[in-house]
Amino acid sequence: MNYWLMKSEPTVYSIADLARDQRTLWDGVRNYQARNFLREMQPGDLGFFYHSNTTSPGIVGLVRVVQSGIDDPSQFDPTSRYYDPKSSQEAPRWQTVCVEFVQMFPQLVSLDTLRQTFSADELWVVRQGNRLSVMPVPEDVATKILTLAGAE
């Protein structure tokens, strides 16, 4: 099993939305490195749900990958803001995963706390200027995050 950090703006899709929906397609990723990380995900992998672009950014919960290797349908939809006219059904450029809700953490693990706890080499989200929406998290770092979150 691998661990990942997956960012979403809470005004677009929040951990509360996932708790309500139980499952969602993690669509709309349009960065090649983040897309490649999505391609590496396998069912059973865990992801830290990170609220970005908000007053208190940080990790708010945990998700599980339930299906991988899915062609992102938004790339084919001309009405979607994630539409990619260079992509086709025969040669899709963007893949994604389906995730399910695991838990909402009892407390936010803020970006400030993450910066105080981890180096930029340990946890990429604390790197200055990091814009990736999906990134790997080493197992030892994941264990510390779970402790910081008060997760059971």
Q: Block means of pLDDT (10 residues each) for the chain, length 152 residues?
A: 97 97 97 97 98 96 98 96 95 97 96 97 93 96 96 72
Q: Quick one: pLDDT at residue 57?
A: 97
Burial of 72 (0-12, 13-18, 19+ CB in 10 A): buried
Q: Quick one: pLDDT at residue 152?
A: 63
Domains and CATH numbers, the chain: 3-149 (3.10.590.10)
Beta-sheet strand order (sheet of 134-137): 23-25, 95-110, 58-71, 46-51, 3-8, 134-137
Residue 86 to residue 94: CA distance in whole angstroms: 11
Q: Quick one: pLDDT at residue 140?
A: 97
Q: Quick one: pLDDT at residue 45?
A: 98
